[in-house]
């Protein structure tokens, strides 16, 4: 369900509707939430518009009510990771880094077999 950012215009309209119109309890709860919430579902705003059309000093069209508002994007907080999984990931990262390091320096560090070949060459001299 699309949600939009609540603007001061929307809050003022909801106050006017709450004060001057007869509305159901369910809608009343939704309109009261517009005072504190930072976003509102589009269906609530459309319902608010229907009631605001009865009043003279409130927006009569949806584009007037939504002026200055924009889509609301909820960003969920990251879930905490399992400690066992985190330990395993760290172990795998360390192994991967060691493999990459060994691959990078394998031509620099002398392999064991080359040392024996050098020793035998020195003995021949």
89 and 56 part of one domain: no
Domain-embedded: residue 70: no
61 and 88 part of one domain: no
87 CB-side CA count, 13 A? 3
Residue 49: closest CA among 39, 36, 63, 34: 63
12 and 56 part of one domain: yes
pLDDT value of position 119: 55
Report yes or no on whether pTM surpasses 0.85. no
Confidence check: pLDDT of 116 > 70: no
10 and 61 part of one domain: yes
CB 47 within 8 A of CB 14: no
At a CB cut-off of 8 Å and minimum separation 6, what does 32 contact?
14, 18
87 and 58 part of one domain: no
At 29-77, the pLDDT tens digits run: 888 888 888 888 989 889 888 888 888 888 889 888 889 888 888 888 9
Domain that holds residue 109: 83-124
Domain-embedded: residue 77: no
At 11-25, the pLDDT tens digits run: 989 888 888 888 888
Give the pLDDT mean for 115-125.
Answer: 56
14 and 60 part of one domain: yes
Q: How many domains does the chain have?
A: 2
Domain-embedded: residue 76: no
pLDDT value of position 8: 92
Domain-embedded: residue 75: no
Domain-embedded: residue 78: no
41 and 91 part of one domain: no
pLDDT value of position 87: 96
Domain-embedded: residue 71: no
13 and 59 part of one domain: yes
Question: Which residue would you say has higher pLDDT here, 79 or 119?
Answer: 79
Residue 13: closest CA among 73, 56, 72: 56
């Amino acid at each position: 369900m699309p949600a939009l950012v609540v603007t001061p215009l929307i809050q003022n309209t909801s106050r006017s509707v709450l004060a001057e119109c007869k509305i159901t309890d369910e809608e009343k709860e939704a309109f009261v939430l517009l005072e504190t919430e930072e976003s509102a579902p589009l269906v609530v705003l459309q319902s608010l518009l229907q009631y605001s059309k009865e009043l003279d000093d409130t927006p009569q069209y949806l584009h007037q009510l939504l002026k200055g508002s924009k889509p609301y994007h909820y960003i969920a907080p990251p879930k905490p990771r399992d400690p066992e999984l985190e330990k395993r990931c760290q172990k795998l990262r360390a192994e991967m880094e060691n493999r990459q390091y060994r691959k990078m320096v394998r031509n620099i560090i002398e392999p064991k077999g080359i040392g024996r070949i050098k020793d035998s060459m020195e003995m021949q001299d």
